[in-house]
Chain A
């Protein structure tokens, strides 16, 4: 059974810092990995999707990497802004049913 872990559970940084969020998964036989952002009381917004054949994806100040063999992904946020404050969720698509398994998320606070 796939298990996804995100560390740390919460992170607080001053504005302007570069930061890295971590995601690890137990079964490396994945189809893809997706990073989401969730604002309080809202649904999830897809940020980046990395297919199993890819090593990284970039969108603006965000860069996500994937190392399937070690079961890890990182989300790098450059020059953080207060508007980046949210919960960031990692989800892995795996298994015969191709289901997404979510981590518990990292709650990020960027202080002005």
Chain B
């Protein structure tokens, strides 16, 4: 149990589908993050939420839409994705900016 739970673990979707990734943290943290991990590339920060407010959006295409209804839950809504969006999507949380990040096990997304 990592304290950060992501569902689903695997997702295959067509380019015209709409799906959502879910992340839940049980650590009482205030900040939550979405990262993208593609093969042979460093982790890329996508979105940051601090106390439910989005504080960062790293030039992510609008086909990715985050939602943070409360400090324990984070969603990533997906629509009209491209095959190059296939990657491991990781959620993380932290108590504060200077605190260690705790990651979930990720959702392996394949876009066909």
Contacts and interface: CB of A to CB of B under 8 A. Distances in A.
Given A32-B98, A34-B100, A93-B98, A102 B43 contact: yes
Contact of B105 (A42, A49, A91): A42
A51 interface: yes
Interface in B61-112: 90, 92, 97-106, 108
Interface of A: 4, 31-32, 34, 36, 41-46, 49, 51, 89, 91, 93, 97-105
A105 B40 CA distance: 9
B104 A100 contact: no
Interface of B: 2, 4, 6, 40-43, 45, 48, 55-56, 58, 90, 92, 97-106, 108
B98 A51 contact: yes
A98 B99 CA distance: 11
B105 A4 contact: no
* A-B pairs with lowest CB-CB distance, top 9: A43-B103, A102-B43, A44-B103, A98-B97, A46-B100, A102-B42, A43-B105, A49-B100, A104-B42
